[in-house]
Amino acid sequence: MLTMDKERLNNLLVPIFSIILGLIFGAILMLTFGFNPITAYNAMISGVFGSPYFLGEALRAATILTFTGLGFSIAFKAGFFNIGVAGQLLVGWTASIWVALAFPDLPRLVLVTISIAAAIFAGAVWAGVAGALRAYFGTSEVIVTIMLNYTALHLMNYLILNVIGTSNTTERVGENASISLGWLTQLTAGSRLNIGIFIAMIVVALYWIFMTKTTAGFEVRAVGLNPHASTYAGMSAAKNIILSMLISGGLAGLGGAIHGLGTFGNLFTQSGLPTAGFNGIAVALLGLGNPIGIFFSSILFGVLEIGAGFLPNGADVPDEMASIVIAAIIFFVGANYIIRFFMNKLNNKKTQAVQEGE
């Protein structure tokens, strides 16, 4: 029992140390280029927490990251690296807007539900293709999902220009498809924070229940830990690969729907893949695959993302600094061997000291 607690503590210390080291790395980089890191971090924190509007926006960004993070995480648990969350988010976004614009007169509850369902379906199919190819042909899901990212991007731009709309942006969806909440908007001084944050919390709980309390979740984890042993135990590797990729893409698609119906209310052509996809990978890795950890990581990265906007004016630092810090944090999470190595050394010294004391 004691060792389990210790391991848990170690698991919690890795992300905390990674965050600290990432922030220190950012500070060193800023010092190198003659910026004041304290002014910069202060500008970010006071900017976000100083006004309800920006706090609302940070939580809004965190909502999307929770979905993409959970989406990445479930595939990762099953042993698959779904770099395609960005593309799955795009197809979800597209599907939700398309449906919302196609049936503007349906009652709000119905329209929102079918728009979100369409997004989940689209995302699930987009990721499911990669899952099926992996399951039946052994095709690398890393390369396939990367290729599907760019396919999604071009396809979306084509649909906006030629099918759903006629210019670079589609029309805005009607009131009946909006997922904003009056009191939430008011509370956050007109931010785009929406009902998605509550959906995110529910999904976090469902994800936890699925992974720890259901047979299907157990199978997904088992296949990820040891595909051979779980096949021997009678689990179908192919079924679990596809299932985890379907859920993964569905979650990313759901994030796209929240982006579409909540954040933007429309769809517009884009020149690159959305950062929410790749930052979703980052929050999943920082949260170490734990849904609650992912939720809090999302809030941290939401604050960094929105706080980045205060860097140029508040500290004269280019706003890319925030992304560099995010990358540095994930570097240390990935290379956690170094953190564990030092923690073990520290622990060994402690036990040695205790033993010597005896």
Partner 1 sequence: MDILVLLQLIVSSSLMYAAPLIFTALGGTFSERSGVVNIGLEGIMVMGAFMSAVFNLLMFDTFGGLTPWLGLLAGGLIGVVFSLIHAVATINLRADHIVSGTVINLAAPALAVFLTKIIFDAAQTGPLARSFGRSNILGLQNIPVIGPIFFEDTSGPAYLGIFVAGIAWVVLFKTRFGLRLRSVGEHPQAAETLGINVLRFKYYGVMISGLLGGIGGAIQAQAIHNEFGILTVAGQGFIAMAAMIFGKWNPLGAMGAAVFFGFAQSLARAGSYIPIIQDIPNIWLQVLPYLLTILILVGLIGRSEAPKKLGITYIKGN
CB of 284 to partner 1, least distance (A): 10
CB of 358 to partner 1, least distance (A): 32
Cβ-contact 230, 92 below 8 angstroms: no
φ, ψ for residue 268 (rounded to 5)?
Answer: -140, 155
Is residue 189 left, alpha or beta, with left meaning phi > 0 and alpha meaning psi from -120 to 50? left
CB proximity list for 33: less than 8 A, separation 6 or greater: none
Dist CA 171 CA 160 (whole Å): 10
Which residues of the shown chain bind partner 1 in the complex (CB under 8 A)? 33, 81, 83, 133, 137-140, 142-144, 146-151, 154-155, 158, 271-272, 278, 281-282, 285, 318, 320-321, 323-324, 326-328, 330-331, 333-338
Cβ-contact 79, 291 below 8 angstroms: no
> Which tokens belong to 323?
């992304």
Please say which residue, 53 or 331, places its beta carbon nearer to partner 1.
331
CB of 95 to partner 1, least distance (A): 17
Helix (H, G, I), strand (E, B) or coil at 169: strand
Looking at residue 268, the DSSP 8-state letter turns out to be B
Please say which residue, 261 or 329, places its beta carbon nearer to partner 1.
329
HEC profile for 69-85? HHHHHHHHHCCCCCCCH
CB of 189 to partner 1, least distance (A): 29
Please say which residue, 28 or 201, places its beta carbon nearer to partner 1.
28
CB of 318 to partner 1, least distance (A): 4
Task: Indicate the Cα dihedral angle 138, 141, 147, 153, nearest 10°.
Answer: 140
Dist CA 297 CA 282 (whole Å): 9
Please say which residue, 9 or 338, places its beta carbon nearer to partner 1.
338
Please say which residue, 90 or 144, places its beta carbon nearer to partner 1.
144
CB of 334 to partner 1, least distance (A): 4
CB of 5 to partner 1, least distance (A): 25
Q: Which single residue is written with the structure tokens 């950012």? A: 26
CB of 298 to partner 1, least distance (A): 16
Residues making up the chain, counted from first to last: 358
Beta bridge partners of 169: 268
CB of 27 to partner 1, least distance (A): 14
Crossing angle, helix 320-334 and helix 336-357, to 10 degrees? 50
Dist CA 287 CA 207 (whole Å): 14
> Which tokens belong to 205?
């709980």
Please say which residue, 246 or 286, places its beta carbon nearer to partner 1.
286
Please say which residue, 148 or 184, places its beta carbon nearer to partner 1.
148
Dist CA 248 CA 239 (whole Å): 14
Cβ-contact 261, 177 below 8 angstroms: yes
